[in-house]
Chains A and B, each alone.
Chain A
Amino acid sequence: DSGVTQTPKHLITATGQRVTLRCSPRSGDLSVYWYQQSLDQGLQFLIQYYNGEERAKGNILERFSAQQFPDLHSELNLSSLELGDSALYFCASSSGGGKGKLFFGSGTQLSVL
């Protein structure tokens, strides 16, 4: 058990809809990272937050947004969903920002039908 909790584990929705994925980092970790994993694209970095502030941004679509709350949990919002957004979304946490060992959650499997 990594100590990182992601909910829900599975999500099935329709095109055009909006969903929210939630992540609770390991106790004491200030950084939260979001990744998207699809079969043909590997693990793509989306965004990183450190202690409530956006620290780094990767290939995150404008339809996607994220935030980290004062209690350090994070949410990834995906809107106007398309078939191609179907993927496994991972959250990871670390104690520092951008250089250390990551602890991954078990992921949210999103299926857009």
Chain B
Amino acid sequence: QVQLVQSGAEVKKPGASVKVSCKTSGYTFTDSYVHWVRQAPGQGLEWVGRINPNGGGTNYAQKFQGRVTLSRDTFMRTVYMEVRSDDTAVYYCARGLPGGFDPWGQGTLVTVSS
């Protein structure tokens, strides 16, 4: 079945960068965009950006321009999100389908603490 498995939780100091991975399986990697979504504690879902594994083209939400970089390793079927994080949040990756995101990764908690 289709699965997206993310890397484990991270603790970072304010202003430091963290790289989160999202390993995919069960479908043709280059057929679907992979999206990233952020959720701060007690808050709603916030779209961060997306990457087209076929070619590597990216789009970012304006809020995250310059703070987030998406990349992919086609051989490893893995997408990466590097983010300079100033606040604690859970980051999810999700496969993009026409009209929805499915499935989602389990989420990666990035804790920012000095």
Chains A and B bind each other? no
Chain B residues engaging chain A, CB cutoff 8 angstroms: none
